[in-house]
Amino acid sequence: DEYQDTPAYNLIEQANESINEPYFLILDEMNLSHVERYFADFLSAIESGEKIPLYGEEELTLPENLFIIGTVNVDETTSEE
């Protein structure tokens, strides 16, 4: 009955606590899954400045010192042909 944290969540919380230091969240091989399913809330929060709703009353704020970087593979191993 409560939100279970993850390493990414913990990193974002650390960034919220230490706003004078840069933090980097690197999402590797983002093209191997449906980005719109898991990244829509991030994009909305970045554009609007609103918090991301989590389980129950919990909310997550994306601080300005958090840099989100995603990698994308563009070789024959990621082709759907």
Structure tokens at 67: 């840099």
pTM value is: 0.77
Averaged pLDDT, groups of 10, the chain, 81 residues long? 83 95 92 78 88 85 92 71 54
Q: Residue 26: what are its φ and ψ, rounded to 5°? A: -105, 120
Neighbours of 62 (CB within 10 A): 19
- What sign results for the dihedral spanned by CA atoms 7, 4, 33, 38? negative
In the beta sheet, which residues pair with residue 70?
Answer: 27
DSSP-derived pairing of the beta strands 59-60 and 66-70: unpaired
pLDDT at position 29 is: 84
